[in-house]
Amino acid sequence: MTARLTGWVEPAVAAAGYDLEELVVRPAGQRSVVRVVVDRDSGVSLDDVAELSRSLSELLDAQDEALGRSPYVLEVTSPGVDRPLTLPRHWRRNVGRLVTVTAGPDGRREELTARVLRVQDDGVVLAVEKGGTKKGQVRKAAGERTVGWAELGEARVQVEFTRPAGHRDAALVHVPDEDETDETDEIDDGEDDTDVDPEDMDDDEHDPAGVPVADASGGSGRPAPHRAPRDPRPRRGGSK
């Protein structure tokens, strides 16, 4: 099922201007959860997620017979802050952010804390930091270091309370919690849609991790009001 869904979803996601980072299908009681993770260089907003969710919902509705009429929940989301940086585009989208990364030749790799300065054809340029290993200490830059793609190991973005100027999320406050933009859309479950009062929505509210959050129930893909920090476990049947 996953391969079939990817064949339908990936072209639609690309046509909308996004990269499909992940598509996962997992059981959730008598239903399945289809989780679609997307991203792009300019970032993904609540409105972007809501629009894409509606588009993908219509696409999958048209494939109802091929899917066997099995009830499932569609989730459209952006990557979390803890997503590993594995591709050049992941690094490009995190220029200006602090990361921890294992780097160096095989057998001689070391763990670094560094800020991503820029991305080049042959690798990434990092401002490697030194000191500040204890809480409250200030790290100092130790100069630039270019690391080739072949010498990059596991890398993850570090949580910061403020973003460096110029980063695509610099205007958003960041605290250590999930970092996802999320839209959930229930498909073909035979239940009534849950109506949402648009006046309850607040476009200025954001997830505590600093990224706008959207949530919708029902095949219409309507956005629901801002919600409190969510349990990391997936919601079932579009319930709050």
pLDDT per residue as tens digits for the range 110-133:
999 999 999 999 999 999 987 544
pLDDT surpasses 50 at 206: no
10 Å Cβ neighbour count for 27?
9
Q: Hey, what are 140's tokens?
A: 């100092």
- Residues 82-97 have a mean pLDDT of 95
pLDDT surpasses 70 at 237: no
Question: 64-68, 123-127, 192-196, 202-206 — which one is most confidently predicted on average?
Answer: 123-127
pLDDT surpasses 80 at 194: no
- Residues 209-215 have a mean pLDDT of 41
- Amino acid 132 reads G
Half-sphere exposure of 139 (CA within 13 A, CB side): 15
- Residue 162 has what pLDDT? 67
In angstroms, the CA 82 to CA 8 distance is: 27
pLDDT surpasses 70 at 214: no
- Residue 225 has what pLDDT? 34
Least confident of 10-14, 93-97, 143-147, 210-214: 210-214
pLDDT surpasses 60 at 208: no
CA dihedral 206→80→77→233, nearest 10 degrees, is -90
Q: Hey, what are 41's tokens?
A: 């260089």
CATH of 1-81+168-240, one of 1.10.760.10, 3.30.300.70, 3.30.1330.60, 3.40.50.10320: 3.30.300.70
Domain positions in the chain are: 1-81+168-240, 88-157
**How would you list the strands of the sheet with 140-148, edge to edge?**
140-148, 123-130, 110-120, 98-103, 152-157
- Residues 30-45 have a mean pLDDT of 94
Q: pLDDT band at 71, cuts 50/70/90?
A: confident
CATH classification (class only), 88-157: mainly beta
| Phi and psi angles of residue 53, each rounded to the nearest 5 degrees, phi first | -60, -40
Confirm whether pTM is higher than 0.85: no
Q: Say if strands 152-157 and 98-103 run parallel, antiparallel, or are unpaired.
A: antiparallel
